Amino acid sequence: MSSLVKEDLEKKLFKPLSQNLYEFIEIEFSVQDRYYLCVSVTKNEEVKIIMVKHYRIGLDEKYEVTKKWSLNDLRMIDGKEADTDNPFFDLHFKKVYSLEAYSCASKYAFVRTVNKLNHAYLKKDLRIVNFDSTYINDDFIWSSNNKDCLVLMRICFYAFNLVCLSLCPLRL
């Protein structure tokens, strides 16, 4: 489903703006409408973070840019609590925007993409706080391009270890 939405977003919104869409996540912003937080790169290699409102008129899907920022203006991304599984995070520009992702995994997928594009295009010191750095950086053994699968794989690995340890007899 998300690949269809991404394809539709690219065709109807980002290609006409001459931008390449790298990542999008659904965010909880309004009860009535659906919103996406997108990361794209322009022809001039400027990284943009764009909030898009998604709505329907009849059978036609429509997308409207509601907010647009440059990655260069992003000062910090705050994941709120690194030790808990929560979808809340703050984007610190001149103003702080508190957002809620659809899931914790999508929050991490978004931040991984922003971090990657920052290293590729800007190479600025972007502060990413209150995130588990193991899931943000690609320099560890579990590195993957499967994004959300990475988080799931780590959880399964830890769960499997816990089951194995709980089944082992304890010798005194």
Q: What residue ranges define each of the domains in the chain, with the CATH number in brackets? A: 3-136 (2.30.29.90)
Backbone phi and psi for residue 96, each to the nearest 5 degrees, phi listed first: -95, 125
pLDDT, average across residues 51-66? 91
Please write the tens of the pLDDT for every residue from 118-142. 999 999 999 999 998 888 876 554 4
Helix (H, G, I), strand (E, B) or coil at 132: coil
Please write the tens of the pLDDT for every residue from 77-101. 999 987 888 999 999 999 999 999 9
Rounded Cα gap, residues 92 and 107, in angstroms: 15
Amino acid code (one letter) for 71: L
- Pick left, alpha or beta for residue 123 (phi over 0 → left; psi -120 to 50 → alpha; otherwise beta): left
